[in-house]
Amino acid sequence: MGYVTAGKEYSRDSRYLTTRITADGRDGYRVEPGRYRLVVSRACPWASRAVIVRRLLGLEEALPMAVASPVHDERSWNFGLDPGGRDPVLGIERLQEAYFARDPGYDRGITVPAVVDVRTGRVVTNDFPQITLDLSLQWTAHHRAGAPSLYPWELRPQIDSVNEVVYRDVNNGVYRAGFAGSQEAYAEAYRRLFDRLDWLSERLAASRYLVGECITEADVRLFTTLVRFDAVYHGHFKCNRHKLSEMPVLWAYARDLFQTPGFGDTVDFDHIKRHYHLVHTDINPTGIVPAGPDLSGWLAPHGRGALGGRPFGDGTPPGPVPPGEAVPPAHTPLG
């Protein structure tokens, strides 16, 4: 959770639990279907990366998912969406219980996504950049037939390079603007954000995807910020030079991905708006959740197919959303 500190630039706490779940179990945690639970919030862009990658790769059965309530307090994410306010598998009311089960003195962020070992009830990792890479590279034995290659060997240097600047200036850049504690810090974050969005517009004007001709990890990471832009970042975080819908190339690119199975069908705009506007009380003390924006534009034709590209490469689209994981129809234009 972010917060404003008067007079200071926003700095993200990046002290994550970096234990990895791998095919060979070298960190003590071996990939095993059903052993772990992926805890997410559909409101959180970092968690949404894992939700999308899990769905694209067809890991729904191998890695079951728990969805936290979009609204939390200082005691962390809770399972208020579940009957009795408890996760039905882990049996806990708040995610912090799984963190404290690992380390009773844990003093870092209680963040999502988090992967919990069901056997012990302990968080294994909340290292969100590594989680999605490991889903691609370590969980291959459990990928669906036709799963795309989101982090192909030959493109990794380019993907890593794009991800680095997108994280710094866009993914985290909107937070640096929204939680800036001084006019100077805000102005610098604002400048870097829109300079980078202009750079991305130029890059994507002639290329359907960020790296290569297929969807990769880079597209997933950019999408989760873009899909929240008009709903929360433009107004709530004061990233208001233009709306996404006023940036033609990025708007078409985002719609293209949204309309691709595995992307838009994971997005819950109600959760997104309620989280940002109700949790960030230092930014929005009235707790009023905006009624807009109109979501129908997400389904408008995007024309990006004219640029070529093969969304899933040699693979295939994921199948229907599994029962129990669908976003409520009223929370998405896809409904």
**SS3 annotation, the chain:** CCCCCCCCCCCCCCCCCECCCECCCCCCCECCCCCEEEEECCCCHHHHHHHHHHHHHCCCCCCCEEECCCCCECCECECCCCHHHCCCCCCCCECHHHHHHHCCCCCCCCCCCEEEECCCCEEEECCHHHHHHHHHHCCHHHCCCCCCCCCCHHHHHHHHHHHHHHHHHHHCHHHHHHCCCCHHHHHHHHHHHHHHHHHHHHHHCCCCCCCCCCCCHHHHHHHHHHHHHHHHHCCCCCCCCCCHHHCHHHHHHHHHHHCCCCCHHHCCHHHHHHHHHHHCCCCCCCCCCCCCCCCHHHHCCCCHHHHCCCCCCCCCCCCCCCCCCCCCHHHCCCC
Beta-bridge mates of residue 78: 94
Q: Which of 10, 36, 44, 99 is catalytic?
A: 44
Catalytic site includes residue 44 = yes
Catalytic site includes residue 214 = no
Q: Which of 10, 36, 151, 175 is catalytic?
A: 175
Active-site amino acid positions: 44, 175
